[in-house]
Amino acid sequence: MALSTTLFFMVVTVLAIAPHLGPSVVGAHKDGGGGYLYPQFYDHSCPRAQEIVKSVVAQAVAKETRMAASLLRLHFHDCFVKGCDASLLLDSSGSIISEKRSNPNRNSARGFEVLDAVKSALEKECPGTVSCADIIALAARDSTAGGPSWEVPLGRRDSRGASLSGSNNDIPAPNNTLPTIITKFKLQGLDLVDLVALSGSHTIGFSRCTSFRQRLYNQTGNGLPDSTLDPSYAAQLRTGCPRSGGDQNIFPLDPASPAHFDNNYFKNIIYSKGLLNSDEVLFSKSQKTMELVKLYAQKNDLFFQQFAISMVKMGNISPLTGQKGEIRKHCRKINTY
């Protein structure tokens, strides 16, 4: 615990002084474009940028609590495909086939209109300055209000393309095996600790019936429910998730406190009440991930600290910086020159 706490404050301290140090500083992410990410990136070019993002997100979440989880999820689904470059926000146009059409996003990715509102406000305040990729990263942080917070390294630029195949293949799926999920995280430079901590984002939000139906009726092809799912919880779920139909019916990922960012997600898993297969395998398929689940279930503050560290790490996946990419005027389409 002491070591993790020390590491957390080391990371925060380094991020705070990054602009005054060379680009090789730990916590500042440098790439071949000659740029790097640091929290104060917009301090001079758009001083109110973070304030504006926070305000619009707060209004959207106040209007619909579920929006917090939706915005957080967009950051995950963006970063796992081509890096954190706002490729997810592009609509289909010309040669671009939108990632919104992929299996992980179709009929479930939402919150795009909130990011449109943020972008519109920022374009009025400081035109052509704040990237859509940075907006996603900031909106994700501001969606955990009441939970962990962190300084978001900034300076990402926006891609001029999308990857439907990447979205279909690289984002962990609810029914993936644990080895597959571990591999998908590892390919992004994220380890087991990151995997378990970031899975804790399922402490808020909802999931569709189609994402966990097999656990209720036919987990292994033998017509039986998942033996790792609490029978009474399964019976409760079956009332709203029938064997056929009702695909879009939604259920809280954390029925104990669906609107609060806390560590109840991990407690649920221990009691065989993780909603998704990808939740429960963290406890039932690996001693290492099981120990982390137990640790975060016991220590909410440690979960918050590690979640913040892992979110910064995830936000550093292959950003476009320097002269790479562009700053889109509208998040849904590339600029025309």
Binding residues for heme b, by number, are: 202
Q: Which of 88, 64, 53 is nearest to 205 (CA)?
A: 64
Q: How far is CA 308 from CA 64, 121, 295, in A?
A: 24, 27, 16
Which DSSP state fits 92? Answer: P
Cβ neighbours of 126 (radius 10 Å): 15
User: With b meaning 16 or more CB within 10 Å and e meaning fewer, what string describes 319-332?
Assistant: bbbeebbbbbeebb
Which residue in 20, 29, 75, 77 is the catalytic one?
A: 77
Which residues participate in the annotated binding site for Ca(2+)? 78, 81, 83, 85, 87, 99, 203, 254, 262
Find the distance separating the first CA and the last CA of the chain, reported in whole Å.
Answer: 53
Take residue 103 and report the two structure tokens written for it: 């299996």
Cα separation, 34 vs 215, whole angstroms = 48
Scan for tokens 């146009």, then name that residue: 93
75 counts as catalytic: no
Which residues participate in the annotated binding site for substrate? 172
Are the C-beta atoms of residues 272 and 233 closer than 8 Å to each other? yes
Q: At how many degrees (to 10) do helices 112-125 and 49-63 cross?
A: 150
Residue 36's DSSP bridge partners are 30
Are the C-beta atoms of residues 129 and 122 closer than 8 Å to each other? yes
Which residues participate in the annotated binding site? 78, 81, 83, 85, 87, 99, 172, 202-203, 254, 262
Residues annotated as catalytic (active site), given as ranges: 77
